[in-house]
Amino acid sequence: MSDRRGALALSLERARKGLETVAQPSSSVSLGVEEAYEVQRELLKLRTADGEKVVGYKMGLTSKAKMRQMGVDSPIMGFLTDGMRLDGSFSLGRAVQPRIEPEIAFLVGREIAGPLPPREALSRCSAVCAALEILDSRYRDFKFKLEDVIADNGSGCAFALGPWTKNPGFEALQGLAVTLKVDGLAAQQGLSDDIYGHPAQSLSALSALLARRGLALPEGCVVLAGAATQAISLRPGLYEGCVAGFAPASVSVSA
């Protein structure tokens, strides 16, 4: 590991814990995508050394809505830990500039050692659910380039899952309305197809990104496929991530 990667990971982890923002690495150095993933790996080492466990992975920037919103045009992956999993509530005091977005999540039933095509990757998932992701960029003004956001674990902060439903198969996951509700009212609306054409395509892309780094998706692992809509700023209220045909994921946000 170069000192540069370790130092960047440490500054991002300090910013996360101290609820501060830092300058985007791209403002002073040219990282490149591979080195940015190495910074992400160093970040994960810091968190596992603190007792957190990896419970899954997230894909990000898999929809046109998100790519446009963030000005980044390439999908990315990040890790999810047990410390990021929410049990129905979230306090704004945990984050600096949080945003929320509706997602679809997969539960891996049989190891996915990629790269696997979408239908095959999906067939190894035992269950699917609606989910919510809370993002919190460690960068000033929530602005970043591709390498910056990869290093910062895809702006990952927290996630909530709805009840798991048996995997209904590829066709049944096409064309489903994905809605973010705030206090019962629709705030953002998209379709499952907005996630990389099909959320299973996102799973497939994740399996390839991991395989290039010698990693697989183990049984029991959770995958967030990426938001179908733009993310919105988080304020106190009741948030629901809804996917047609599935029970919603909900989070009550307090000041």
**Site residues, Mg ion (CB under 5 A):** 60, 133, 227
Sign (positive/negative) of CA torsion 192, 196, 197, 199?
Answer: negative
Contacts of 14 (CB under 8 A, 6+ apart): 20
Which stretch, 35-43, 107-115, 120-128, 129-137, contacts ligand OOG (CB under 6 A)? 129-137
Peptide bond into 236 cis (omega under 30): no
Does residue 227 belong to the site contacting ligand OOG (CB under 6 A)? yes
Q: How far is the CB of 149 from ligand OOG (least distance, A)?
A: 5
CB nearer to Mg ion: pick between 60 and 162: 60
By CB under 6 A, is residue 133 in contact with ligand OOG? yes
Find out whether 130 and 143 touch, Cβ atoms under 8 Å. Answer: no
**Could you give phi then psi for residue 38, rounded to 5 degrees?**
-70, -35
Q: How far is the CB of 227 from ligand OOG (least distance, A)?
A: 4
Amino acid identity at 162: G
Q: 249 with 241: CB under 8 angstroms?
A: yes
Q: Are residues 89 and 254 in contact, defined by beta-carbon separation less than 8 angstroms?
A: yes
Q: Residue holding tokens 């790996």? A: 41
| Binding status of residue 161 toward ligand OOG by CB under 6 A | no
Asked if 101 touches ligand OOG (CB under 6 A), the answer is yes
Site for ligand OOG contains 70 (CB under 6 A): yes
**Residue nearest ligand OOG (C-beta atom):** 60
70 contact, one of Mg ion, ligand OOG, none, CB 5-8 Å limit per kind: ligand OOG
| 229 in Cβ contact with 65 (< 8 Å) | yes
By DSSP bridging, strand 249-254 and strand 89-91 are parallel
- By the rule CB under 6 A, 194 interacts with ligand OOG: no
Is 163 in a helix, a strand, or coil?
Answer: coil
Task: List the one residue from 47, 66, 138, 181 that touches ligand OOG (CB under 6 A).
Answer: 66
Spatial CA neighbour of 217 closest among 133, 127, 107, 123: 107
Applying CB under 6 A, the span of 20-28, 46-54, 59-67, 104-112 interacting with ligand OOG comes to 59-67
The total number of residues written for the chain in this structure: 255
- Of 5 and 138, nearer to ligand OOG (C-beta) is 138
Using CB under 6 A, count the residues that bind ligand OOG: 16
Distance (Å, whole) CA 153 – CA 132: 17
Place of tokens 């390839």: 208
Considering only 102, 154, 241, 248, the residue that binds ligand OOG (CB under 6 A) is: 154
Tell which one of 61, 96, 108, 205 touches ligand OOG (CB under 6 A): 61
CB of 60 to Mg ion, least distance (A): 5
Residue 98 interacting with ligand OOG (CB under 6 A): no
- Binding-site ranges for ligand OOG (CB under 6 A): 58, 60-62, 66, 70, 101, 133, 135, 137, 149, 154-155, 226-227, 231
